Amino acid sequence: MLTVAPSCDCLKRALIANALSSISSNRGEENIIVDFSVPATEAFWSLYKGGMKYVEDILDVLPGINPKMLKSFLSNSVLGLKSKKLSEIPLTNIEYLLEILGENYKRVFVVLPDANSGHSCEIIKKSQYVLMPFTSDTVSVQNAIMLASFYNSNISSGFNVLSLKLNLDYEFHSDKILNSNEIFKNGLSAGFSSDIERQILSPKYSYRDKSVEITAVLEKVLEYYDHGSKKAVSAESSFEKYFTDESVYKSLKIKIYGELIEEMKSFADETDEIRLKEIAREKIGAIIKKLELSLPEQISERVFKELCDDVAGLSVIEDFIKDPSVTEIMVNGCNSIYIEKAGQLSKVHAAFPDEKQLRIVIDRIVAQTGRHIDEASPIVDARLKDGSRVNAVIRPIALNGSVLTIRKFLKNKLSVESLISAGSISKEMADFLKTAVILKKNIIISGGTGTGKTTLLNAVSSFIPENERLVTIEDSAELQLQQKHVVRLEGRPKSTEGTGEISIKRLVINALRMRPDRIIVGECRSGEAFDMLQAMNTGHEGSMSTVHANTEADAVSRLVAMVLMSGVDFPERSIISQIASAVHVIVQLTRYCDGSRKISSISCVNKTDDEKIFKISPVFQFNMKGLENGIQKGAFRATGFIPDFMKTASDSGVNADLGIFKC
């Protein structure tokens, strides 16, 4: 690449570039002029007799264009600026464009603008030679000297400067000034009268006639160019920097994706995700080869991975699905994705390219569960193969675009020991719950959304003896009981025709006929609470369930409301009496402002003879001490209350350590 520096007016620089290009063409050598001197000025561009193409028109398609297509578009044209200045175009785009041109043309002549921006300095760093033309008047000579000084001060790496003095019709005494500067001592010079300018502009001007002084001098310039050492590409070449720009990468990905979708249509019936990704990878490789795109390795691998995820996986959320530290993924439209880690929500930079791609992913997820989602049925609640819970809502219900929520399934069940280590429960509290489970006390785990109710239920269930028959009932199977004798039942929603529903209430009723020792309901949400209480009160002690409530008292109120939802015509007092008889222990979970989840209290429900019917007695509590460096501080404390069943535990053959109740 030879760069023409702004040491004289832009018209003369353009004339020099034009003449160099013509001489090179006459030798049969492909070359191109890239003129950054001024944005589109038709009168000025007319001096380029081969026509003009614009840099801005190329940049938009450059990520997915191959060298053959680029040369076909440019033919023997000159590249110029349409409306922007050089400094207004991203440097990585300019560097990549010049690098591509340098690989596909024998010579690239670059004309710099008058303003010496950072872009100009970076272009010079990559040039084999910098041609510095200037006229023989004192002002132009002084400008050339100042420009050479500027380059020396602002360009640290070495660069070759070739000065060219254009002698005007009249003489100036500037040689003494020039000879005092090393750059100009061995420079070239040639006459450059107004007649010479007109000759260069004339279509009849012959660049083969070396007897013309300017032609002979420009031939020498090309010889210097040819013998100049090509600049070595740095570790982070413009080639790599260009494709790491997100807007450039997105354009490239869209280009390949459009062709990939066409190629993958014949595999629409393939359901094996691994096989589908293998096919997609082969097709992507073939497309890149067909387009003759040369991509950096890291960009190539990113294209392969992301496009395979797009056509056969879960697109931009695939990595979050695989990340074990991510517990929940929330997609609020194509441009807004949040994840939960360690109890804290954070927005991520990843985004779906558009609403259509998000809908494709939702349809793919829903199809895995055997469900269907469309405008007539715009809400789906389902479970993935790995047990993760999925909720999807689309338009017209979701006003700002499709919403997707995935609560990930924990592959490694948290043990009681790990909960103690995490500070979610104390050892004394764990010992109390173990005793309550062994004594077959009915336990309700209460808490708000995302407080860890199912996680705790999984952990507490590990205390159940191996010789018991357990029946679990859930709307989306999440429980991971470790016992061998477990029957798992899962509800089913209505089909698109409104039939085929299997409710949790129906499953609870059916479980009573399956000779269970204990019934574990993943979550009571509606009328099944009545049947659950009936089971607890009729010989199925030691049963467990969870409810959504913020306090122990709220948990009882929720149970009352859910029993009424079953349609029974009982007085509220009677329902409360049944709850007081059925429920022995309420474990309250709380999610604190630092994202931590803890058992905030364990209470016993005692039936009384007075009008209150029941009394909730806290056994253990978490006493908060405030925030310290953003972390919720506090301590688990026993209240001093000892439940009757703990006092008589030894009568049932269970060793209960009453020391855990010391305040």
Q: Is 330 within a domain?
A: yes
Same domain (yes/no): 403, 474: no
Same domain (yes/no): 458, 534: yes
Q: Is 240 within a domain?
A: no
Helix axes 552-565, 572-582, angle to 10 degrees: 120
Torsion of CA 496, 454, 583, 611, to 10 degrees: -80
User: For residues 214 and 221, what is the distance between their CA atoms, to the nearest angstrom?
Assistant: 10
Q: Would you call 140 exposed, middle or buried from its count of C-beta atoms within 10 A (0-12, 13-18, 19+)?
A: buried
User: For residues 285 and 303, what is the distance between their CA atoms, to the nearest angstrom?
Assistant: 10
Residue 235's pLDDT is what?
Answer: 40
Q: Is 236 within a domain?
A: no
Q: State the pTM of this model.
A: 0.64
Q: Is 541 within a domain?
A: yes
Same domain (yes/no): 259, 334: no
Provide the CATH number for the domain around residue 361: 3.30.450.370
Q: Kindly give the pairing relationship between strand 631-638 and strand 188-191.
A: unpaired
Q: Which amino acid is at 37?
A: S
Asked whether 455 and 461 are in contact (CB, 8 A), the reply is: no
Same domain (yes/no): 293, 375: no
Expressed as residue numbers, the domain containing 299 is: 245-313
Same domain (yes/no): 558, 472: yes
Q: Is 233 within a domain?
A: no
Same domain (yes/no): 470, 602: yes
Q: Choose among 414, 432, 434: nearest CA to 422.
A: 414
Same domain (yes/no): 593, 457: yes
Which of 387, 409, 431 delimits the end of a domain? Answer: 409
Q: Is 232 within a domain?
A: no
Asked whether 31 and 109 are in contact (CB, 8 A), the reply is: yes
Q: Could you state, in chain order, the average pLDDT of each consecutive group of 10 residues for the chain (663 residues)?
A: 88 88 86 89 70 84 77 81 89 87 89 85 86 85 84 74 82 60 75 79 65 84 78 56 80 86 83 86 89 81 90 89 90 94 88 90 84 86 80 91 88 82 92 93 92 90 92 83 89 74 88 90 88 84 93 93 87 89 94 89 85 85 85 89 84 76 72
Which of 313, 341, 370 delimits the end of a domain? Answer: 313
**How would you list the strands of the sheet with 2-4, edge to edge?**
52-54, 78-81, 31-39, 107-111, 2-4, 129-135, 161-167, 188-191
Q: Kindly give the pairing relationship between strand 326-332 and strand 403-407.
A: antiparallel
Same domain (yes/no): 462, 531: yes
Q: Is 239 within a domain?
A: no
What one-character-per-residue DSSP string does 313-364 give? S-GGGHHHHH-TTEEEEEEESTT-EEEEETTEEEE-S---SSHHHHHHHHHH
Same domain (yes/no): 511, 602: yes
Which of 352, 376, 409 delimits the end of a domain? Answer: 409
Q: Is 329 within a domain?
A: yes
Provide the CATH number for the domain around residue 192: 3.40.50.300
Specify the DSSP element, H or E, that contains 39.
Answer: strand 31-39
**How many structural domains are present in the chain?**
4
Same domain (yes/no): 510, 615: yes
Residues 6+ apart with CB under 8 A from 495: 501
**Displacement of CA 341 from its chain's centroid (Å):** 15
Same domain (yes/no): 18, 139: yes
Same domain (yes/no): 399, 330: yes
Specify the DSSP element, H or E, that contains 391.
Answer: strand 389-393
